[in-house]
Amino acid sequence: MTIVFVEDNFSHKTDGTAISTHRFREELVKRGHTVRVIGIGIDGPDMYGVKEHVVPLVSAVARKNNMHFGLFDEKIIREAFTGADVVHLIFPWQIEQKCLKLARRMGIPVSGAFHCQPENVTYNMMIKLLGVANTFIYFLFRIWMYRHIENIHCPSRFAAGELQKHGYHARLHAISNGISDSFKPAETEVVREDGAINVLMVGRLAEEKRQDLVIKAVKQSKYRDRIQISFVGRGPMYKRYLRQTLGLPNPPRFFLDFIPHEQLVDLIYKTDVYIHASEVELECISCLEAIACARVPVIANSNKSAAPQFALDGRSLFKKGDFLDLRDKLDYWIEHPGECKKMEGEYAALGRRYNISYSVKKMEQMFESAVTDFRTRQMINGNPRLRKYARLVEQRASPLRVFSFLFHYVIAAPLLTIAHRVYFDLKYKNKKVLNKVKHTGVITICNHVHYLDGPICIFNIFPRRPLTVSLPRNFDMALAGLFVTLLGAVPSPSTPKELQSFIYLLSKHLRRRGVVHFFPEGELDLYHEGIREFQRGAFYLAVDAQVPVLPLRLVYREPRGIYRLLKKKHPCFTLVHGEPLYPDTTLLKKDAVADLQKRAEEAMRTLG
């Protein structure tokens, strides 16, 4: 593929996002792709340099945080886009917004990345306590650019969750920025300074990174006379932090300029404890690099950071903003070298899961998804039959759909709920798990053992109204076909093009917090006792839309009381709810589908 990265700060190698873009570019080129880059002041093969766009007041503040804005130059950018298969936009700034419009005019698929956390902006504007400000910035970013992009790279599952909470309905690809092969455990024992305890933190010297907590914790530590702090990064808080270090027995070392991998790795090897005090992180790649080198971390337990997921137990977590708790955790690891040595191996194993070579394969899948979505939209718009099929799947407004809506809520819901209770003596088990998925899209699945198990599953999740997938022939039956339509069923695809459209449209529905119900066993088998082999469609769709699967199982009960007389031949039903099953975002798509299907089958067999 020919891929174009639009990255304002590509030439600034001290910026974490720029470093990640460099790594992805290098790995993609190794895998045979052509990768062009548009950035400020760059030149060379496949490099398209633009000038800096200076925004009054804003640029002055942004530069202190190593952020620069590119100036859109249509001639240069059109040249870079010519012959491209996909354009990948790193930030939501002006140049990216204009590149998005140009790519759409040129008919080129576009993907995006989300690397600028609004909290990074509000912390540096000193309005960090105003949650509404963060919400407003998420809204601005979505309006400016992300609402027009269907595939977005999120550097962690945490980042994807934040976007979902703020109304982003794109296909969110949780892909680690990845760590290079340079970051691995030392092959030989590292020689350290006699008696020194080395503490390291890597990150911009900015308000939200909270290097001040490290300084305060060390000042209060029992081992303050032996601790040597090293800070790697630059930023607007440097002078303030320098003043705060006055009084420390060992003045901290500040590495303000870019240091090559080899030097950084050597610095990590000589570290006894790595501290990550930042309260705002979409992934925290620097923490992962230290972990991959077998360093034990102490991490701020912040709900605005992805870093806490990397702590293997509570000894590596400290309360956000609490330097005394940080001091206690730091002193613990200093006092327990044997335990620290044991945990180094476990952290190194965790770090290997985030290797760049694995992440780049997932990036390829995202680019392929962007191209497929683009072509699918074109195919639907250009084919009258597919447009008609799309209207059925999307259930667009029409007199029939209005009547279907009224029928569902006014007639079917009360009547069938009563009928199920009376005829089947229907009971529910563990229904409270529905609360866990009430704010997200979800796929419900159930064993297919009765003609009326579809309505049972549909009204189980009331007042939400699931789409159900039914065979096309069911819509051709006179009275039953009308009933299937009124209950919100959509026809399963019968041609390859319909299948492609079906996945695309239902994935959008799920990402917009919709509900879809599947019978993964396929055909009905009346009163079948066990769980039959599943088809993969529901699980492929769950992985594609990144939504959970909720297992349901109809189990049989012996009739009791009056039902012994009313139901001599048939059992009563209990609908058992399992725990939601989430796709494993660390796996490649094919493996994630197989994994989710396997877990769902196992879960269904245990329900009872």
The predicted-structure confidence for 80-94, as pLDDT tens digits, reads as follows 999 999 999 999 999
Task: Catalogue all structural domains in the chain, each as residue range(s) with its CATH number.
Answer: 2-178 (3.40.50.2000), 197-346 (3.40.50.2000), 382-606 (3.40.1130.10)
Residue type for position 134: N
Which of 278, 288, 273 lies closest to 320, judged by CA? 278
Span 205-230, average pLDDT: 94
SS3 state of residue 461: coil
Least confident among 177-181, 186-190, 269-273, 412-416: 186-190
| CA pair distance 367, 84, nearest whole angstrom | 12
φ/ψ of 553, rounded to 5, equals: -140, 130
Name the DSSP class of 408. Answer: I
The pLDDT of residue 441 is above 90: yes
Q: Is the dihedral of CA 12, 18, 22, 25 positive or negative?
A: negative
Joined tokens for residue 425: 């003596």
Q: Is the dihedral of CA 269, 28, 150, 537 positive or negative?
A: negative
Supply the mean pLDDT for the chain.
Answer: 90
| CA pair distance 40, 49, nearest whole angstrom | 5
| CA pair distance 93, 81, nearest whole angstrom | 18
| CA pair distance 300, 278, nearest whole angstrom | 6
| CA pair distance 229, 42, nearest whole angstrom | 35
The runs of H, that is alpha helices, within 117-168 are 118-124, 131-144, 157-165
Joined tokens for residue 189: 């024992």
Question: Scanning the structure block, which residue is given the tokens 């971390």?
Answer: 297
Span 583-594, average pLDDT: 91
Span 284-308, average pLDDT: 93
Give the burial class of 482: count Cβ atoms within 10 A of its Cβ; 0-12 exposed, 13-18 middle, 19 or more buried: middle
CA distances from 512 to 114, 345, 508, 604 (A): 19, 41, 6, 26
SS3 state of residue 575: strand
pTM, entire model: 0.85
The pLDDT of residue 122 is above 70: yes
Least confident among 132-146, 182-196, 261-275, 568-582: 182-196
What's the confidence (pLDDT) of residue 375? Answer: 95
What's the confidence (pLDDT) of residue 147? Answer: 95
The pLDDT of residue 126 is above 60: no
> Is there a contact between 108 and 83 (Cβ–Cβ < 8 Å)?
no
| CA pair distance 557, 552, nearest whole angstrom | 16
| % of residues, the chain, pLDDT over 90 | 63
Sheet of 317-319, strand order: 253-255, 227-232, 197-202, 273-276, 297-301, 317-319
Span 183-210, average pLDDT: 85
> Is there a contact between 600 and 520 (Cβ–Cβ < 8 Å)?
yes
| CA pair distance 142, 169, nearest whole angstrom | 10
What's the confidence (pLDDT) of residue 407? Answer: 81
Question: Scanning the structure block, which residue is given the tokens 């509000």?
Answer: 122
The predicted-structure confidence for 221-233, as pLDDT tens digits, reads as follows 999 999 999 999 8
H or E element: which one contains 563? helix 563-566
CA angle 587, 593, 596 (to 5 degrees): 90
The predicted-structure confidence for 226-255, as pLDDT tens digits, reads as follows 999 999 988 889 999 999 999 899 999 999
